Amino acid sequence: MKKQIRLNRQRQNRKLRVSNAVKRYSTRPRLVVFRSHKHISAQIIDDSKGTTLVSASSLDKDIRSGLKYGGNCEAAAVVGAVIAKKALGAGVSQVAFDRRGFRYHGRVKSLADAARDAGLDIGANNNGDNNEETEN
């Protein structure tokens, strides 16, 4: 039990550290991700106005009908594509990615990659996949 309490405290500290850094150093709206065991959700928040611009979740009726399960990478990719489509429709093309203390792998990475592929500018993909060698 002590280990679980320690891990929860570490996650809360990490969440505050990541979110505060994104808020402090970026003027873009934030793409905030939340994942539970069964579902994943994302919303784009404008901190200067304090409003949520768009949101998408694996619990939404139109998304849920096409998914078998809401807690896997396929569901995260669908939510990422939907949030990007809604954001571009609302006139938001650049966002800062706020992972809220979750590690950038698995479902969180799938959501971010799907949003990038749908046309939302989240920033560079830093895992080395985009390195193109130029031939002279």
Q: Side-chain half-sphere of 126: how many Cα atoms within 13 Å? A: 5
- With a pLDDT cut of 70, the percent of the chain lying above it is 90
How far is Cα 88 from Cα 105, in angstroms, rounded to an integer? 25
Q: Which of 31-35, 73-77, 96-100, 105-109 has the lowest mean pLDDT?
A: 96-100
- pTM summary value: 0.82
Does the CA dihedral 90-108-98-127 come out positive or negative? negative
Residue 130, pLDDT > 80, answer no
Residue 128, pLDDT > 90, answer no
Domains of the chain: 2-117 (3.30.420.100)
